[in-house]
Structure 1
Amino acid sequence: MLKSLTLFFDRIVQRYLPDPYLFAIILTFIVFVAGIITTGSTPIEMVQFWGTGFWDLLSFTMQMTLVLVTGYVLASSPVFKSILISLAKIARTPGQAIILVTFISSIASWINWGFGLVIGALFAKQIARVIPKVDYRLLIASAYSGFLLWHGGLAGSVPLTVATPEHFMENMIGVIPTSQTIFAGFNLFIVVALLIILPLLNRLMSNYTEDHVYIDPTLLENSKEAQAATIEMNTPADRLENSKLISFIIGTMGIIFLLYYFIADGGSLNLNIVNFIFLFLGILFHVTPRRFLNSVQDAVKNAGGIIIQFPFYAGIMGMMVASGMAEKLSLFFVSISNEMTFPFLTFISAGIVNFFIPSGGGQFAIQGPIMLKASLELGVDTAKTAMAVAWGDSWTNMIQPFWALPALAIAGLRARDIMGFCTMVLIVSGIIISIGFLVF
Structure 2
Amino acid sequence: MLRALSRPAVVLMDRYLPDPFIFVLLLTIVAAAAAMLFEGAGPIAVVQMWGDGFWGLLSFSMQMLLILVTGYILASSPPVKKFLALLAGLAGSPGSAIVLVSVVSLIASWVNWGFGLVVGALFARELARQIRVDYRLLIAAAYSGFVIWHGGLAGSIPLTIATPGHFTEAQIGVIGTGETIFASFNLIIVAILFVVIPLVNWLMVPREDESVYVTAEQLGDDEREAFVPTRPAEHLENSRLLMWVVGLAGLVFLAHYFFVRGAGLNLNIVNFLFLMLGIVLHGTARNLLDALQEAVKGGAGIVIQFPFYAGIMAIMTQSGLAQSMSEWFVSISSAATLPFWTFISAGIVNLFVPSGGGQWAVQAPVMLPAAEALGADIARVAMAVAWGDAWTNLLQPFWALPMLGIAGLKAKDIMGFCLIHLVITGVIIGTLLVVL
Determine if contact 1:70/1:278 at 8 Å carries over to the other structure: yes
Q: Does 1:37 align with 2:37?
A: yes
Q: Does 1:424 align with 2:420?
A: yes
Trace 1:127-166 onto structure 2 (pairs within 5 A): 127-131=127-131, 133-166=132-165
Determine if contact 1:76/1:222 at 8 Å carries over to the other structure: no
Query: How far apart, CA to CA, are the structure 2 residues paired with 1:153 and 1:179?
Result: 12
Instruction: Name structure 1 gaps, 5 residues minimum.
Output: none
Query: How far apart, CA to CA, are the structure 2 residues paired with 1:195 and 1:46?
Result: 42
Matched residue type, 1:139: L
Q: Percent identity?
A: 57
Query: How far apart, CA to CA, are the structure 2 residues paired with 1:430 and 1:208?
Result: 27
* Match of residue 294 from structure 1: 290
Query: How far apart, CA to CA, are the structure 1 residues paired with 2:40 and 2:221?
Result: 53
Matched residue type, 2:47: V
Tell me how far 1:162 sits from its aligned partner.
0.8
* Match of residue 167 from structure 2: 168
* Match of residue 388 from structure 1: 384
Matched residue type, 1:128: A
Tell me how far 1:302 sits from its aligned partner.
1.1
Matched residue type, 1:294: D
Matched residue type, 2:199: L
Query: How far apart, CA to CA, are the structure 2 residues paired with 1:207 and 1:115?
Result: 28
Q: CA RMSD in A?
A: 1.1
Matched residue type, 1:59: S
Instruction: Name structure 2 gaps, 5 residues minimum.
Output: none
Greater mean deviation of Cα atoms: 203-212 or 269-278: 203-212
Tell me how far 1:189 sits from its aligned partner.
1.2
Superposed CA deviations along residues 144-178 of structure 1, whole A, max 9, x for unmatched, are 00000000001100111111112110111111111
Tell me how far 1:372 sits from its aligned partner.
1.0
Q: Does 1:249 align with 2:245?
A: yes
> Which of 400, 403, 408 lines up with 2:399 in the alignment?
403
Query: How far apart, CA to CA, are the structure 2 residues paired with 1:209 and 1:200?
Result: 19
Q: Does 1:328 align with 2:324?
A: yes
Q: Secondary structure at the match of 1:403?
A: coil
Aligned residues: 436
Determine if contact 2:134/2:206 at 8 Å carries over to the other structure: no
Superposed CA deviations along residues 193-241 of structure 1, whole A, max 9, x for unmatched, are 0000000000000046862111101332356x434x1x33211111111
Trace 1:142-221 onto structure 2 (pairs within 5 A): 142-207=141-206, 211-221=210-220
Determine if contact 1:124/1:140 at 8 Å carries over to the other structure: yes
Taking a change above 3 Å as real, the CA distance of residues 387 and 96 of structure 1, as seen in their structure-2 partners, is: same
Q: Does 1:64 align with 2:64?
A: yes
Query: How far apart, CA to CA, are the structure 1 residues paired with 2:25 and 2:138?
Result: 28
Query: How far apart, CA to CA, are the structure 2 residues paired with 1:211 and 1:160?
Result: 43
Determine if contact 1:7/1:209 at 8 Å carries over to the other structure: no
Q: Secondary structure at the match of 2:398?
A: helix
* Match of residue 374 from structure 2: 378
Matched residue type, 2:278: G
Query: How far apart, CA to CA, are the structure 1 residues paired with 2:118 and 2:3?
Result: 29
* Match of residue 224 from structure 2: 226
Query: How far apart, CA to CA, are the structure 1 residues paired with 2:89 and 2:417?
Result: 25
* Match of residue 84 from structure 2: 84
Tell me how far 1:377 sits from its aligned partner.
0.3
State the TM-score, normalized to the length of structure 2.
Answer: 0.98
Taking a change above 3 Å as real, the CA distance of residues 25 and 266 of structure 1, as seen in their structure-2 partners, is: same
